[in-house]
């Protein structure tokens, strides 16, 4: 009896192990299932109205008057693209410079000071950025350049600052991943540090840097509260940098609390457009960083 009980114990352990493996597999699919459920709900709620009114009029219509059943998303699509482009103009030079300084031009002590600051930048709530925009940037733009102040320009600057942590951290990772021998070889050939950065490190880390910029774009497209606070939110195509603008995200957040019926469906349709843009950006970023991983 005794030996059997012992081997039974061994089997129990092995059976437990198999059960654990199964349980972990189920848990591991949680993220995928959440993604699927979100996709199903947003698309399920948002697409019927798009086809009812015609995809073309939905995407290219320039009038958004939900009370009159006019659901043209064009101004918001242009708005999102405009502030995202603006954010890149501000954020990419700042972010890449910071990444280069952190990896190539600073001592360990300076790095130990700047790195936590960048991490802190990532932790500050978006409403605080938006608030700083309203209190400081918007009045500044109004007094210096004219116009209402709440504008494409204000949203671009605030979003440009908000995407810095994403750009910096991923670029730093990819610059650090360049094998030290590249750097040493270049310096040994008599190149200066900057020449090394420009001609060796940047090309070697290119795909990671591109991925960081695309992920930064994703953040800028998706940011909501800060944009609402500084962009002015007029639902029309902005004519200049100083004109107010409404993004896809703001469109949802501004009207969600009181929308009903078709109006609410149209907001979900806005969500679908946003969702598609983000998924395309994610896939590109994924593909570029996958290419990087394959490189020797």
Partner 1 sequence: MRRLGPRVEEKAARVGLWALTLITVGVLVFIIFFIMRRGLPVLSLEFLTANPADMGKTGGIFSTIVGTVALTVLAIVIAAPLGVGTAIYLTEYTWGGPVTRVIRFGAECLAGIPSIIFGLFGFILFVTKLKFGWSILSGGLTLAFMLLPTIIRTSEEAIKSVPASYRSVSFSLGSTKWQTVTRVVLPTALPGIVTGVVLSIGRSIGETAATIFTAGSALRMPTSLFSSSRTMSVHFYILAREGISMPNAYGTAAILIIAILGINLLTYFIMNRFIKKYS
- Identify residues 44-63 at the interface with partner 1 (CB under 8 A): 45
Question: Do residues 106 and 172 make contact, with C-beta atoms less than 8 angstroms apart?
Answer: no
* Nearer of residues 82 and 162 to partner 1, judged by Cβ: 162
163: helix, strand or coil: coil
**Which stretch, 55-63, 65-73, 138-146, 188-196, contacts partner 1 (CB under 8 A)?**
188-196
Q: Which of residues 103-162 bind partner 1 (CB under 8 A)?
A: 105, 114, 116-121, 123-132, 134-136, 161
DSSP 3-state assignment of 69?
A: coil
Let me know: does 129 contact 224? Beta carbons within 8 Å.
Answer: no
Interacting residues with partner 1 between 248 and 277 (CB under 8 A):
249, 252-253, 256-257, 267-268, 271, 274-275
R_g (Cα) of the chain, nearest Å: 25
Nearest distance from C-beta of residue 116 to partner 1, angstroms: 6
Q: Confirm or reject binding of residue 2 to partner 1 (CB under 8 A).
A: no
Nearer to partner 1 (CB atom), residue 97 or residue 240: 97
Q: Is 281 in the site for partner 1 (CB under 8 A)?
A: yes
Q: Among residues 141 and 197, whose Cβ is nearest to partner 1? A: 197
Least distance (Å) from partner 1 to the CB of residue 28? 4
Output 56 or 107, the one with its CB closest to partner 1: 107
- DSSP character at residue 257: T
Using CB under 8 A, which residues numbered 168 to 187 contact partner 1? 168
Residue 64 in contact with residue 235, Cβ under 8 Å? yes
Q: Which is nearer to partner 1, 119 or 184 (CB)?
A: 119
DSSP state of 194: H
Span of 53-61, 87-95, 144-152, 178-186 interacting with partner 1 by CB under 8 A: 87-95
Choose one: 53-61, 145-153, 180-188, 191-199; the region binding partner 1 (CB under 8 A). Answer: 191-199
Stretch of 12-20, 71-79, 179-187, 201-209 lying at the interface with partner 1 (CB under 8 A) = 12-20
Give the DSSP letter string of 2-40.
HHHHHHHHHHHHHHHHHHHHHHHHHHHTHHHHHHHHHHH
b/e per residue, 178-187, with b = 16+ CB within 10 A? beeeebeebe
Query: What Cα–Cα distance (Å) separates residue 107 from each residue in 193, 196, 197, 289?
Result: 14, 17, 16, 28
Tokens encoding 227: 């944009």
């Amino acid at each position: 009896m005794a030996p059997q009980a012992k081997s039974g114990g061994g089997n129990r352990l092995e059976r437990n192990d198999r059960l654990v493996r199964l349980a972990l597999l189920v848990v591991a699919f949680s993220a995928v299932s959440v993604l699927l459920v979100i996709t199903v709900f947003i698309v399920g709620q948002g697409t019927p109205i798009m086809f009812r009114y015609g995809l073309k009029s939905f995407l290219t219509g320039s009038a958004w008057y939900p009370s009159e059943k006019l659901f043209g998303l064009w101004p918001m699509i242009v708005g999102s693209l405009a502030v995202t482009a603006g954010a890149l103009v501000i954020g990419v030079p700042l972010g890449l410079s910071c990444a280069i300084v952190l990896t190539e031009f600073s001592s360990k002590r300076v790095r130990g000071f700047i790195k936590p600051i960048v991490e802190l930048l990532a932790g500050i709530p978006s409403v605080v950025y938006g608030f700083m925009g309203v209190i400081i940037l918007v009045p500044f733009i109004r007094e210096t350049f004219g116009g209402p102040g709440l504008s494409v320009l204000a949203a671009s600057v605030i979003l440009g600052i908000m995407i810095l942590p994403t750009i910096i951290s991923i670029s730093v990772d990819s610059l650090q991943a360049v094998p030290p021998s590249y750097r040493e070889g270049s310096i040994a050939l008599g190149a200066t540090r900057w020449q090394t950065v420009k001609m060796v490190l940047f090309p070697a880390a290119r795909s990671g840097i591109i991925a960081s910029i695309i992920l930064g774009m994703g953040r800028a497209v998706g940011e909501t509260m800060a944009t609402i606070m500084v962009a002015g939110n007029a639902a029309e195509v902005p004519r200049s940098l100083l004109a107010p603008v409404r993004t896809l995200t703001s469109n949802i957040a501004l009207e969600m609390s009181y929308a009903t019926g078709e109006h609410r469906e149209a907001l979900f349709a806005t969500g679908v457009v946003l969702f598609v843009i983000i998924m395309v950006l994610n896939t590109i970023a994924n593909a570029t960083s996958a290419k990087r991983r394959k490189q020797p």
